Structure 1
Amino acid sequence: MLSTSGTIIGIDSSTGACSIAVCRGGTMLAHFHEDMTRGQSERLAPMAEAGLAAAGLGFPDLDAIAVTRGPGSFTGLRIGMAFAKGLGQALGIPVFGVTGFDAVARAVFATEAAAGHGIAVILESRRADLFLQIYTTGGAPDGPPVALPPEDIAARLCQEGAAPLLLAGDAADKVLAVLDQASAAMLRSSLITAPDAREVALIGLEMAGDGDIPPALQPLYLRAPDVTAPRAG
């Protein structure tokens, strides 16, 4: 079993950014973040190496790896997960998959503004529907993640008897835009908009500390990829 005092690197390339974080126990040793819509495949390995160097470590010092497994950009997810898998196999260490929802929710729950509120994490899909995961005031997922149009998410968030919710994620504004003024006034927005490697690393370290062997790393897409059928002939 990996101790929670072990050293882990967190990786995120699931949205319009690329980030890595090196963590030992609860101490963040290094964190690099760059906004980018493309180019993660070229930047990820050098960023990880630089992060470890900044922490005074090398790849052999790692005990585990954590990586965002979705939802998000298909290309970005594949880049991050392929790098994490390859590194894990080369070093013989476990790789833990963390959802972007959990990473955002953890960052929000760490703020005082989240006290007494559930959280609705709403992430951009670059299509008409949006990605949604709701969390209870205790931090547990409230049902499975879904992909829904903004109007359907708005109706779900405003159900009678629902707990007060704090909205987070880069698509939260799209839901607020379709709410009437009274409904929008019942909800609050967080400044946390996207997953980051810091939370990915901390969640991965907790998962590693549980002592369970991580399941095979599988992406969380929530919808089919955009593909074009080949032309006949």
Structure 2
Amino acid sequence: MLVIALDTSTPAVTAGLVALGAATDSAAASVQALSERVTVNPRAHGELLTPHLLDVLTEAGHGLGDADAIVVGAGPGPFTGLRAGMVTAAGLGHALDKPVYPVCSLDGIAASCAVDGPLLVATDARRNEVYWSIHDAGERLTGPAVARPEDVAERLAEFGVRSAAGEKASLFDVPSSATVSPSAEGLVRATAPAVLADDEPEPLVPLYLRRPDAQEPTAPKPVTVGRERR
């Protein structure tokens, strides 16, 4: 089956078309990216995502209607960027009448890494914090969560973390993977069992993990008017 994969949870704008084959008794599901576009530009998720997808489909020799499902990174990530990917995926799913599967973007990064033992995934949460999770053998052991890097570092020995991935991996005293953002193949690999089983997708709810900086305006303060002079 053919799966469209989208992610805008990091500064990377990612779109891909992935061939997904069913698992057998002797082998895991086969996942192969047929075409992929990735541009690192944190200010252009909305402008680049759809052109990237159309380029991907053209390169792979397919149309939008050939896709059997859509997988989209649900974060955690910044508000504006993350919404661009999820709204695009929701719109495509509605227009094409295809299921849309949200997947934790940190799971997508972990699934892109060929490492042994527990893996820390850490991406930029701004405010001197990171989004993080720990994975092992295809399973998420903890997270996703948001915290200061020094607080995350204190948890690494608890899980026996041997390596790190993601754009903030270098902050930690373990070997770093070159994988800094979710790949199309990793996103599909992370949700392959649900897609292959044609499960009902989870709701498209973004993983913001914290409230936005913007606040709703409050009522204006009353203005005290002095006595009128005669």
TM-score (norm 1): 0.84
Counterpart position of 2:153: 154
Choose which of 13, 20, 36 in structure 2 pairs with 1:18: 13
Deviations, residues 76-95 of structure 1 (Å, cap 9, x unaligned):
11010000001000111100
Q: Summarize the Cα distance change of 1:18–1:164 in structure 2 as closer, same or farther, 3 Å threshold.
A: closer
> Aligned-residue CA RMSD in angstroms?
1.7
* Partner-residue secondary structure (3-state), 1:122: strand
Deviations, residues 57-84 of structure 1 (Å, cap 9, x unaligned):
1111111000100011211110100000
* Partner-residue secondary structure (3-state), 2:120: strand
Aligned equivalents of 1:164, 1:16: Cα separation in 2 = 25
Q: Give 1:231 deviation, angstroms.
A: 6.2
Deviations, residues 132-161 of structure 1 (Å, cap 9, x unaligned):
10113x2311133221111111111134xx
Counterpart position of 2:33: 28
Amino acid at match of 1:171: K
Aligned equivalents of 1:39, 1:219: Cα separation in 2 = 19
Match status 1:37 vs 2:42: yes
Q: Give 1:211 deviation, angstroms.
A: 2.8
Check the 8 A contact 2:111/2:189 in 1, yes or no.
no
Q: Give 1:228 deviation, angstroms.
A: 3.9
Q: State the aligned residue count.
A: 210
Amino acid at match of 1:135: H
Q: Give 1:197 deviation, angstroms.
A: 2.5
Q: Summarize the Cα distance change of 1:157–1:205 in structure 2 as closer, same or farther, 3 Å threshold.
A: closer
Q: State how 1:188-199 maps to structure 2 within 5 Å.
A: 188-199=175-186
TM-score (norm 2): 0.85
Choose which of 151, 168, 171 in structure 1 pairs with 2:168: 171
Give the gaps of 5 or more residues in structure 2: 21-30, 221-230
* Partner-residue secondary structure (3-state), 1:101: helix
Amino acid at match of 1:220: L
Larger Rg: 2
Whose helix proportion is higher, 1 or 2? 1
Match status 1:129 vs 2:129: yes
Deviations, residues 157-186 of structure 1 (Å, cap 9, x unaligned):
134xx4242111112223x2xxxxxxx3xx
- Counting aligned pairs with the same residue, the percent is 34
* Partner-residue secondary structure (3-state), 1:42: helix
- Bigger mean CA deviation after superposition, 191-200 or 44-53: 191-200
Give the gaps of 5 or more residues in structure 1: 1-5, 177-183
Counterpart position of 1:215: 202
Deviations, residues 192-222 of structure 1 (Å, cap 9, x unaligned):
1222223123334442112311121111111
- Bigger mean CA deviation after superposition, 202-211 or 214-223: 202-211
Query: Which consecutive segments of 4 or more residues in structure 1 shift more than 4 A?
Result: none
Counterpart position of 1:200: 187
* Partner-residue secondary structure (3-state), 1:211: coil
Counterpart position of 1:81: 86
Counterpart position of 2:77: 72
Choose which of 96, 108, 115 in structure 2 pairs with 1:91: 96
Check the 8 A contact 1:8/1:205 in 2, yes or no.
no
